[in-house]
Structure 1
């Protein structure tokens, strides 16, 4: 995978009293985008249950650059910023881009994998590692 983007339809429920997108919606759309990328590569909820592993987040931050309003057409991108060689720890970046190319927001996050039975951090198996190998990488990507 060299690039992954997703258009989103801004909903009335996403808008706050200031007539722009609520701050928490950025996190919701980021999560939707990440899971869509994983699903598209075969890492479905059923596969995660089979592997007894799940993604977890340690940090998630939003940097707001420009307002997003109800009428705006927005595309979200995702890319890998950093990772351990075994993809057990990773950092991702989402960008929210308006139709005219304006960068509206950036989401940065740090995550890992958890063994769902032991409830401890885990090294993902080869299937998960293969999914992350194909993940779009930032131009400033670095191995941890």
Structure 2
């Protein structure tokens, strides 16, 4: 699949007292992009509920490169870095760019699927794997 990108808007409420974007908003933007992708490809919150599965994160890390300010044009991409073949665990990454070409941050998340009834890690059904196989892969993608 070709690159997947979103262009969320930086709102006044997203800023901290120094007039740049709150650190937590970077993470919110990453989650927004991931859920947009899944939803647009049929893996909606309703489908997740029907299968009693939800995504969980073990680690979420953001490396801040440049500040994001009110009025900046923001573009966030989404790639898969690593995954188990059964889709049970994965590592994804986002690059946040401002105004076309300035790398502002890199977000990396390690996650898995959890059975929401048993509260245990789970292997997702084939439908989930079909959607995950559509996520663009990084140049260094590896199967675990």
Q: Shared fold (TM-score greater than 0.5)?
A: yes
- How many corresponding residue pairs? 144
- Alpha carbons 2:75, 2:100 under 8 Å: kept: no
1:61 paired with 2:61, answer yes
Q: Which aligned pairs between 1:111-122 and structure 2 lie closer than 5 A?
A: 111-122=111-122
| Displacement after TM superposition at 1:44 (Å) | 0.5
Aligned partners of 2:112 and 2:100: how far apart in 1?
A: 34
Runs of 5+ unmatched residues, structure 2:
none
Runs of 4+ in 1 over 3 A off after TM superposition: none
| Displacement after TM superposition at 1:100 (Å) | 3.0
Q: Which aligned pairs between 1:1-144 and structure 2 lie closer than 5 A?
A: 1-144=1-144
Q: Secondary structure at the match of 1:8?
A: coil
TM-score by length of 1: 0.98
Aligned partners of 1:118 and 1:26: how far apart in 2?
A: 31
RMSD: 0.7
TM-score by length of 2: 0.98
| Displacement after TM superposition at 1:99 (Å) | 2.1
Aligned partners of 1:3 and 1:40: how far apart in 2?
A: 14
Aligned partners of 1:16 and 1:61: how far apart in 2?
A: 19
1:110-132, Cα deviation, whole Å (9 max, x unpaired): 00000111111000000000000
Runs of 5+ unmatched residues, structure 1:
none
| Displacement after TM superposition at 1:74 (Å) | 0.4
| Displacement after TM superposition at 1:87 (Å) | 1.1
Aligned partners of 1:84 and 1:75: how far apart in 2?
A: 28
